C-alpha cells in the first residue's frame, strides 16, 4: 500500500476530516488535499516527510504500552466518589469532592458521566476560571448562545437549565474565582441544577473560607462533601487495576506508591514504563521508579 492509500485508510478508519489529519501531521490542509489528488505542484517531500514521520510515531506507539491500556477499575475510592455523584444528582444539590491528587477523582467522574446524557463535565483551568470564559464554556456544552455580555450568557444558561435539568461536574474547581463560584451557586438556587465541584484540598479551603465572610453563603449551600486520600487505597484496589501483576511483592510495592504523594497516577506511570522495559516484577518496578525519582 502506498503512502496516499495509507493516509486515506487512516482518515477513514479514524473518522477524520482531511483538515483534521493535516493538523495532526503538521501540514497545510490545502497542500494535503492537492497531494492526495495528485495535483500538488510543490516539493512533494514537504508533504510526504511529515506524513512518514507521523506514521512512524504511530507505529512505535502501537508497539508500546500506554496509559490508555489501563482499563478503568472500580476501587474503594471510586465507589465512594460514584455514590456521592449519584446522591448529588438525585437530590439536585451542590457537592464537593476533594483531596489528594492521583486518587482517581477525574477518571471516576468521567467514567460515571460517560453514559449519562444529562451530565455535563467541565474541567476548569486558569484560562476559564473567571465568570465570562467559564460560562461561555458551559453555554457551549448546553448548545446555547455564548456571545454578548456575561449577564446575557448567564441568562441563556439559566433558561436552558430551567427547562432541561442537568448535573454539572466541575473538575479542577480550585481554579475558579470567588465570583465564578458565586454564579455557580446561583445556578443551583435558580434552577435546582445538581453541581459537583471536584478538586484538591484548595477547593475545600476556598469554599470554607474561614477568614472570608463572603464565602459563608456559598459554603452553607454545600449539601454533600467527600474527602478522599491516597491513604484510602487498599491492596485489593491495586490487584483490580494492575491485573497482570502476579507477584504479591510487586502488588505491595505498587500499593506503597499509590499511598504516597505520587498517588495512583504515579503508580500507573511506573507500571507503564516498567512494562515497556519488559520487567514488571518488584525489582523491575523498583528500578523504573528509581529512574523516575519516585520513592515509595
Q: Would you state the pLDDT for residue 178?
A: 86
Distance CA 46, CA 56 (A): 16
pTM: 0.74
Helix, strand, coil content of the chain in percent (nearest 5): 60, 10, 30
Instruction: Give the total number of structural domains in the chain.
Output: 3
Specify if 254 maps to a domain. yes
Residues 37 and 90 in one domain: no
Task: Confirm whether 197 is domain-assigned.
Answer: yes
Q: Is residue 139 located within the same domain as residue 216? A: yes
For position 72, what pLDDT does the model report?
84
pLDDT, residue 211, reads 47
pLDDT, residue 208, reads 60
Distance in angstroms (rounded) separating the CA atoms of residues 197 and 123: 10
- Distances in Å between the Cα of 75 and the Cα atoms of 10, 39, 82, 257 are 36, 55, 10, 16
List of long-range contacts for 41-50, beta carbons under 8 Å, 24+ apart: 48/3, 50/25, 50/26
Of 215 and 50, which is predicted with more confidence? 50
Q: In DSSP terms, which residues pair with 121 in a beta bridge?
A: 169
Please indicate, yes or no, if residue 260 is contained in any of the structural domains: yes
Bridge partners for 140 per DSSP:
none
Helices (H) and strands (E) in the chain, counts: 15, 5
Residue 14 shares a structural domain with residue 143: no
Q: Which pLDDT score is estimated for 47?
A: 92
Residue 259 near residue 233, CB atoms below 8 Å: yes
Residues 212, 242, single domain; the answer is no
Segment 140-165, tens digit of pLDDT: 999 988 888 999 999 999 999 999 88
Same domain, 190 and 273: no
pLDDT of residue 220: 60
- Rounded Cα distance between 252 and 258, Å, is 10
Given this model, what pLDDT does residue 289 score? 95
Residue 24 belongs to domain spanning? 3-63
Residues 180 and 40 in one domain: no
Residue 295 pLDDT: 78
| Residue 207 confidence (pLDDT) | 64
100, 163: one domain:
yes
Residue 70 in any domain: the answer is no
Same structural domain for residues 254 and 224? Answer: no
* Residue 68 domain-assigned (yes or no): no
Residue that is last in its domain, among 230, 245, 261: 230
pLDDT at 238: 93
Asked, for residue 26, whether it belongs to a domain, the answer is yes
Predicted pLDDT of residue 217: 57
Amino acid at each position: 500500500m502506498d503512502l496516499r492509500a495509507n493516509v486515506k485508510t487512516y482518515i477513514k478508519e479514524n473518522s477524520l476530516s482531511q483538515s483534521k489529519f493535516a493538523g495532526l501531521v503538521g501540514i497545510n490542509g490545502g497542500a494535503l488535499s492537492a497531494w492526495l489528488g495528485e495535483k500538488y505542484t510543490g516539493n512533494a517531500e514537504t508533504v510526504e516527510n511529515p506524513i512518514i514521520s507521523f506514521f512512524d510515531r504511530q507505529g512505535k506507539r502501537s508497539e508500546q504500552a500506554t496509559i490508555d491500556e489501563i482499563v478503568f477499575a472500580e476501587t474503594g475510592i471510586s465507589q465512594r466518589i460514584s455514590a456521592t455523584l449519584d446522591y448529588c444528582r438525585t437530590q439536585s444539590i451542590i457537592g464537593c469532592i476533594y483531596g489528594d491528587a492521583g486518587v482517581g477523582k477525574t477518571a471516576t467522574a468521567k467514567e460515571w458521566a460517560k453514559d449519562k446524557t444529562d451530565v455535563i463535565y467541565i474541567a476548569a483551568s486558569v484560562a476559564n476560571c473567571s465568570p465570562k470564559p467559564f460560562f461561555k464554556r458551559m453555554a457551549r456544552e448546553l448548545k446555547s448562545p455564548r456571545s454578548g455580555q456575561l449577564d446575557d450568557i448567564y441568562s441563556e444558561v439559566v433558561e436552558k437549565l430551567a427547562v432541561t435539568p442537568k448535573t454539572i461536574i466541575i473538575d479542577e474547581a480550585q481554579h475558579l474565582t470567588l465570583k465564578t463560584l458565586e454564579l455557580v451557586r446561583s445556578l443551583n438556587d435558580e434552577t435546582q441544577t445538581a453541581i459537583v465541584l471536584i478538586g484538591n484540598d484548595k477547593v475545600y479551603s476556598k469554599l470554607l473560607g474561614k477568614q472570608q465572610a463572603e464565602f459563608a453563603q456559598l459554603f452553607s449551600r454545600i449539601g454533600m462533601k467527600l474527602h478522599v486520600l491516597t491513604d484510602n487505597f487498599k491492596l485489593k484496589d491495586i490487584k483490580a487495576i494492575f491485573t497482570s501483576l502476579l507477584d504479591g511483592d510487586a502488588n505491595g510495592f505498587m500499593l506503597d506508591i499509590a499511598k504516597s504523594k505520587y498517588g495512583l497516577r504515579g503508580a500507573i506511570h511506573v507500571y507503564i514504563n516498567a512494562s515497556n522495559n519488559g520487567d514488571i516484577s518488584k525489582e523491575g518496578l523498583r528500578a523504573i521508579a528509581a529512574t523516575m525519582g519516585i520513592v515509595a
